[in-house]
Amino acid sequence: MRGVAALNAPLIGTPDSRAMLETPALVLDAAAFEANTAQLAALSGAHGMGLRPHAKTHKCATIAKRQLALGANGIACAKPGELLALFEAGIRPLMLTAPIASARKIARLADAAARGAELTVVVDRVDLVEAFASAARAAGARIDVLIDCDTGLGRTGVVTADEAVALARAVAAEDSLRYVGVQAYAGLVQHVHAHVDRRAANDAANARLRAILDGLEAAGLAASIVSGGGTGSHLLDFEAGLLTEVQAGSYIFMDEGYQPVDFHGTETAVFATALFVDVTVVAHSAAGEAITDAGSKSLAIDGPPPRVFRDGVEIGRIEWAGDEFGRVKTAAGHEAPAPGTRLACTVPHCDPTANLHDFIHIVRDGRLVEIWAIEGRGLSD
């Protein structure tokens, strides 16, 4: 270990050790994390649909193993670097959810497949089919392939059934590849706040997907895997039954970006906030505001500002005061905490926040119980 994790490791098992952590420290509440993972696993099982959690959220082999132990189909990854780090850490059923354009990265993926990775990739064009086929053949491997479909996000993927059929035929013609279905990630749906509006957006995306699936089936290329969805749309996807598996990621941690989302139309929280960055007040500004030791190097800033807790009581929000510093904007009735005070901050966006840390400190009932490595941290290649 290194950094604050090395300083904090001797505290493992010590009562009330969370309050003693050197900071900034990425902290995971074990009970909330376990409740979140168990809840979505149970929901997917109750609806007879698979779950392929997305590791872009955590990039951590220990978390991936726990998700697999709860019955996940496999682990989704956004980038080859993340995927290969998890493979080297012992994760085998892995899916790369984004198309790539690098012969060397493709060769590394094919080598991992030859060494035991149960690898699935997505393609959005014929030259990528050919590149994966050539690399797999050279490595003596066979790779499963999904056709990447754009159902409204406007990022990657084919739009029409004819395009999907042409790509599926190209994959099926390669002996080193195996056509297994489609991916359709409705990213534009995930953060729509109101349940009724999110359902309408998801229905529109599903209508585009259904047309593609119908075209593939008519061509004798029915998709056995239909992968997509996410934390924001998970219940809608379970109810619609069009996907065969959901690629939810943020549900394990939760963040401020998802706080306003009414997941189940009940206007009550479905998943608990499990991820925090614990910080220390290091100074007071001339205006008397508490300044902390964590800025944009510790918390991703592409989301609503973090809520701040002192001894479990919410006292305000954090504003950015630089790369290394945060400014506590205390709510009415709360005084600025004194230098040396430790605070817990929610995270604006969990995925990139996890990517800023090498280790997660696991706490239970205020006690540090474990420290887990984030093997894929920083591997955004």
Give which of 278, 377, 367, 356 is closest to 63, Cα–Cα.
377
Residue 289: predicted pLDDT: 97
Residue 379: predicted pLDDT: 93
Q: What is the mean pLDDT of residues 324-329?
A: 97
User: Looking at the domain 3-28+269-373, which fold is it?
Assistant: Lyase, Ornithine Decarboxylase; Chain A, domain 1 (2.40.37)
State phi, psi for 232 to the nearest 5 degrees. Answer: -65, -30
Residue 45: predicted pLDDT: 96
Domain ranges of the chain: 3-28+269-373, 30-252
Q: What is the DSSP string of 314-342?
A: EEEEEEE-SSS-EEEEEPTT-PPPPTT-E
Residue 120: predicted pLDDT: 98
Maximum pairwise Cα distance, the chain: 71
State phi, psi for 94 to the nearest 5 degrees. Answer: -130, 140
- Tell me whether the CATH fold assigned to 3-28+269-373 matches the one assigned to 30-252: no
Q: What is the mean pLDDT of residues 234-245?
A: 97
CA distances from 197 to 191, 202, 257 (A): 10, 9, 17
User: Looking at the DSSP assignment, which residues form a beta bridge with residue 309?
Assistant: 314, 344
Residue 310: predicted pLDDT: 97
Structural tokens at position 14? 């010590």
pLDDT in tens, 286-295: 999 999 999 9
Residue 351: predicted pLDDT: 97
Residue 378: predicted pLDDT: 93
C-alpha 256/C-alpha 215 separation (Å) is: 39
Structural tokens at position 106? 């493709």
Residue 355: predicted pLDDT: 97
C-alpha 198/C-alpha 97 separation (Å) is: 23
- Answer positive or negative: Cα dihedral of 28, 303, 311, 280: positive
Q: For residue 230, what pLDDT band results from cuts at 50, 70 and 90?
A: very high
Q: How large a percentage of the chain has pLDDT more than 70?
A: 100
Residue 223: predicted pLDDT: 98
Q: What is the mean pLDDT of residues 22-34?
A: 98
Q: How large a percentage of the chain has pLDDT more than 90?
A: 99
CATH match for 30-252 among 3.10.28.10, 3.20.20.70, 3.20.20.10, 3.40.50.720 = 3.20.20.10
Q: What is the mean pLDDT of residues 305-323?
A: 96
CA distances from 154 to 119, 150, 229, 265, 319 (A): 26, 6, 15, 27, 32
Residue 137: predicted pLDDT: 98
pLDDT in tens, 356-379: 999 999 999 999 999 999 999 999
Burial status of residue 156 (CB atoms within 10 A of its CB: 0-12, 13-18, 19 or more):
middle
pTM listed for this prediction: 0.96
C-alpha 137/C-alpha 128 separation (Å) is: 14
pLDDT in tens, 65-111: 999 999 999 999 999 999 999 999 999 999 999 999 999 999 999 99
C-alpha 213/C-alpha 219 separation (Å) is: 10
C-alpha 43/C-alpha 110 separation (Å) is: 34
Residue 50: predicted pLDDT: 97
Q: Is 228 helix (H, G, I), strand (E, B) or coil?
A: strand
Residue 23: predicted pLDDT: 98
Neighbouring residues of 117: CB distance < 8 A, sequence distance ≥ 6: 87, 92, 94, 109
